[in-house]
């Protein structure tokens, strides 16, 4: 049976500065505790071959959905999206495996002596280097889309980030890594049975 992979992304209702105008770092911590809510949560599930959308009003159902994954794939989800979900739920997610593309890139670069790194390691920049296309909007604009009720644009943006994450992961599975800063190749390790299953779907 093919492994069930779920790719996901979250947009919060509030920004860090909304939660603490004096201390932005504290504001980010409050966001990770779920205090900023979630205006849009997008998932692509390989079992259903479909995009699913949630928000903070349906966080419980979203959490249960995420826990069905054999592998969760995100971009910076380990440090942000997962903690936000757990904050919304008031409990830890039972995640079997999590492949955070950003975390794996940072780890691989650190092993090469590139710590912190100079250059752009955002989803948009990594996608442009590897896929020839970037993000369709900025996360900083998500709050405005929420505040002005432009939920079609908001969910389209969130879903597009999920699609970029999915396309990057497929590239990693196919090639064994991605293009790094400066155009060099950065090897990244995905469990063999996952990489084989993802490549077979292409």
Per DSSP, the three-state class of 9 is strand
Per-residue pLDDT, averaged over 90-98, amounts to 97
Give the H/E segment covering residue 172. Answer: helix 151-175
Q: What is the pLDDT of residue 116?
A: 53
Whether the pLDDT of residue 1 is over 90: the answer is no
Range name among 27-31, 110-114, 131-135 with the lowest pLDDT average: 110-114
- In the chain the domains, ranked by start, together with CATH numbers, are 5-201 (3.30.420.10)
Per-residue pLDDT, averaged over 53-73, amounts to 97
Please give the angle made by the CA atoms of 139, 141 and 147, to the nearest 5 degrees: 120
Contact predicate 3/194, CB 8 Å = yes
d(CA 191, CA 97) in angstroms, rounded, equals: 10
Contact predicate 202/175, CB 8 Å = no
Closest CA to 38 of 89, 79, 88: 88
Q: What is the pLDDT of residue 114?
A: 67
Closest CA to 9 of 147, 136, 163: 163
pLDDT one-digit tens code per residue, 18-58: 999 999 899 999 999 999 999 999 999 999 999 999 999 99
Q: Which residues make Cβ contacts (< 8 Å) with residue 18, sequence separation at least 6?
A: 27, 36, 143
Q: What is the pLDDT of residue 143?
A: 83
């Amino acid at each position: 049976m093919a492994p069930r992979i779920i790719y996901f992304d979250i947009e919060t209702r509030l920004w860090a500065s909304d939660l603490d105008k004096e201390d932005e770092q504290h504001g980010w911590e409050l966001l990770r505790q779920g205090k900023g809510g979630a205006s849009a949560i997008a998932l692509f599930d390989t079992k259903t071959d479909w995009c699913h959308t949630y928000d903070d009003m349906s966080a419980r159902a979203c959490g249960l959905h995420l826990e069905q994954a054999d592998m969760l794939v995100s971009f910076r989800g380990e440090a942000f999206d997962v903690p936000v979900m757990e904050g919304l739920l008031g409990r830890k997610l039972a995640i079997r495996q999590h492949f955070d593309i950003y975390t794996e890139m940072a780890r691989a670069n650190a092993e090469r002596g590139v710590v912190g790194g100079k250059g752009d390691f955002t989803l948009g920049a990594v996608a442009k280097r590897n896929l020839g296309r970037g993000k369709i909007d900025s996360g900083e604009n998500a709050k405005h889309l929420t505040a002005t009720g432009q939920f079609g644009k908001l969910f389209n943006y969130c879903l597009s980030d999920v699609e970029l994450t999915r396309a990057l992961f497929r590239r990693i599975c196919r090639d064994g890594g991605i293009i790094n800063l400066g155009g060099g190749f950065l090897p990244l390790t995905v469990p063999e049975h996952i990489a084989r299953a993802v490549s077979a779907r292409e």
